[in-house]
Amino acid sequence: MTSGRRGQWQTAAEILTRVSRHPGITRAAVAQELGLSTSSATEVTARLRDAQLLSEAPAPSRGRGRPTTLLQAHPSGPLALALDLRQSNWRTAVVGLDGSFLSQDDHRHRTRRASTVLGNLRRAVLEAQDLYGERLRAVGLAVPGTLRGSLLLQSSAPEWAALDLETITADTDLPLVAGNDATLSGLAEARGGAAVGAGTALHLIIEAGIGGTLLIDGAPALGASGAAGEFGHTPYGDRSRACLCGAHGCWNLEVDGRALAYHLQEPDPDDPHAYTLQVLARTDAAAVQAVEKVVAAIGAGLAGLVNAHDPDVITIGGLAVPLRAAAEDVFHQAYLASLMHFHRADPPPVVPAAHQSDGPLRGAAALALDHLTTEEALASWAATR
């Protein structure tokens, strides 16, 4: 490929990245953002139409000025498969280059045996490949656990630890890009949710334990090996209590259904998510006090992260939303009391995530679309047209 051709795909990648992250963006807006002349933008988008990467539709008229077009995914263009693996279920979505979901399905686990779970995800990949053929170009996966590359190092479901996720796409030509579910949920908020435009944002989600991510200019901080954001394993809790991760005093032990069961002197629940909802529905004094203890631990822990990272905004998802709502005053007091003095006059807002349960799936889609809009992936696609 000549240097000129590399330049062509660099500009194309920049255009398609904006299309995937800003549905409904106009050609004029893209040209302005990238500093392209009208003629250059017209020429490049024409090439992308010919390569079945883009289609255009007239933009609504806004008075005087040259008419422009809306940039959209080509109806015969490349697709990604997004997968969201959870404790009780797994979800799939086929995603167009502009981030639109062409299809979406939800499946329940009949068993959480690792081999069965991986087999189900692999079947979903093969079925999508059979249905869409060469249009399917990447698979994005959100998983509830700590990842290093495609290896699941540990999970809140112990039977899933040390899984090699590459088996999902083995013997196919599809690249797999995987990420922690809380990290990808935060990515979804930065791309099209409650953290859009924030220079520094924290995202936290409670399901079985608490996870999250620190986002700088919309990009998650992944750490040296990709395992950053394990906020649930900060030592905010009782140092006499051991966590499954191997550490003692983890925040995880204070903020979910297992914490509620501990305060209620009941056995650890098999399904911490369902158990939390059951306790939240109760009105007896013991349940109310247990919820307040958990909510206070959430508020104080969030304040600690604010002191460390100084975010513009904190977005929360999963069970963090109903838990906070159940004891708003307790949360507010614990949050403010644990902030450094200079933060208290204007504390970073703590707001519900826009995508909530869809966050990990949309984040997995965003991860796969980031792959589809690289120069190499676009050149590979165009070579088959």
* Contact indicator for 194, 354 with CB cutoff of 8 Å: yes
* Mean pLDDT across 301-320: 96
Determine the Cα–Cα distance for residues 38 and 32; give it in Å rounded to an integer. Answer: 9
| Choice among 22-36, 180-194, 263-277 with the minimum mean pLDDT | 22-36
Pairing of strands 313-318, 200-207: parallel
Amino acid type, 320: A
245: phi > 0 → left, psi -120 to 50 → alpha, else beta; which?
A: alpha
Which structure tokens are listed for 339?
């902030």
Whole-number pLDDT of residue 162 = 76
Provide the whole-model pTM: 0.87
- Per-residue pLDDT of 102-120, as tens digits, reads 999 999 888 878 888 899 9
- Per-residue pLDDT of 63-83, as tens digits, reads 555 668 888 899 999 999 999
**Biggest alpha carbon–alpha carbon distance for the chain:** 73
- Per-residue pLDDT of 221-236, as tens digits, reads 988 877 788 899 999 9
Which structure tokens are listed for 170?
């083995």
246 vs 79, higher pLDDT:
79
> pLDDT-based confidence at 208, cuts 50/70/90?
confident
* Mean pLDDT across 91-106: 92
Whole-number pLDDT of residue 158 = 66
Output the DSSP codes for 245-265.
TS-BS-THHHHSHHHHHHHTT
Instruction: Identify the CA nearest to 351 among candidates 310, 299, 316.
Output: 316
Whole-number pLDDT of residue 136 = 96
Output the DSSP codes for 171-182.
TSS--EEEEEHH
Beta bridge partners of 214: 202
Which structure tokens are listed for 53?
């990467």
> pLDDT-based confidence at 361, cuts 50/70/90?
very high
23 vs 305, higher pLDDT:
305
Whole-number pLDDT of residue 66 = 63
* Mean pLDDT across 323-335: 97
Q: What is the rounded average pLDDT for all residues in the chain? A: 89
* Mean pLDDT across 294-313: 96
Please check the confidence at residue 356 and state whether its pLDDT lies above 80: yes
Q: Environment class of residue 65 by beta-carbon count within 10 Å: exposed (0-12), middle (13-18) or buried (19+)? A: exposed
Determine the Cα–Cα distance for residues 83 and 81; give it in Å rounded to an integer. Answer: 7
Instruction: Identify the CA nearest to 235 among candidates 248, 225, 222.
Output: 248
3-state helix, strand, coil in the chain (%, to 5): 45, 20, 30
Instruction: Identify the CA nearest to 269 among candidates 283, 248, 290.
Output: 290
Q: Where are the beta strands (DSSP E) in 11-162?
A: 54-58, 69-73, 79-85, 89-95, 101-108, 136-143, 145-148, 151-155
* Mean pLDDT across 202-216: 92
